Structure 1
Amino acid sequence: MTSQDHQADEETLLEFPCTFPIKAMGAADSEIEAVVWEILERHVPDLDPNAVTTRASSGGKWLAVTARIRAESKAQLDAIYRELSAHRLVVYAL
């Protein structure tokens, strides 16, 4: 299987539109929640505030922000992940 074949398979794994969870993690003492919210608002115009939750790690050092969004396309998801991953406060984006 070539990388192009693999990429084409990835594009067909989801049927759009769909509900999709996005998770970003960063230091609990940072503005990670606000950063994730700002990034998502740029890409998801009808983002529901109730769809965003946070959870601290057991030691309290990390904060996970999870948003269940209505994803319209793979391009939209790719753009969100690129921007989250590029931000200095985001340690992981899943």
Structure 2
Amino acid sequence: MDELDNLDDRTAAEAFRRLVRHLRHRADAQNVDLMGLSGFCRNCLSDWVGEAGGLDKDTARQAIYGMPYAEWKAQYQGEATPEQLARMAESVARNAP
């Protein structure tokens, strides 16, 4: 059994909210960089929230980004470099089972 399964839902929810607020605060951490380092990003989190809660994509993304996704993109997202894209592709490939 994974020890993560022993966390009560309140503790897990508080930790999750802290993670999301941290990502909102660190808008300088681009999704492409998160993907390149860890194989997941804000969009992944919003997809997981949507799947878990039966939310549509826009509602789930707004919950994670704290604003409409298009607004966040316009305000914070820069153009990805070829190096960032290559790192992301390598990292995503490691996620495959």
Q: Which has the higher helix share?
A: 2
TM-score normalised by the chain length of structure 1: 0.27
Q: Which has the higher contact order (CA 8 A, sep 6+)?
A: 1
TM-score normalised by the chain length of structure 2: 0.27
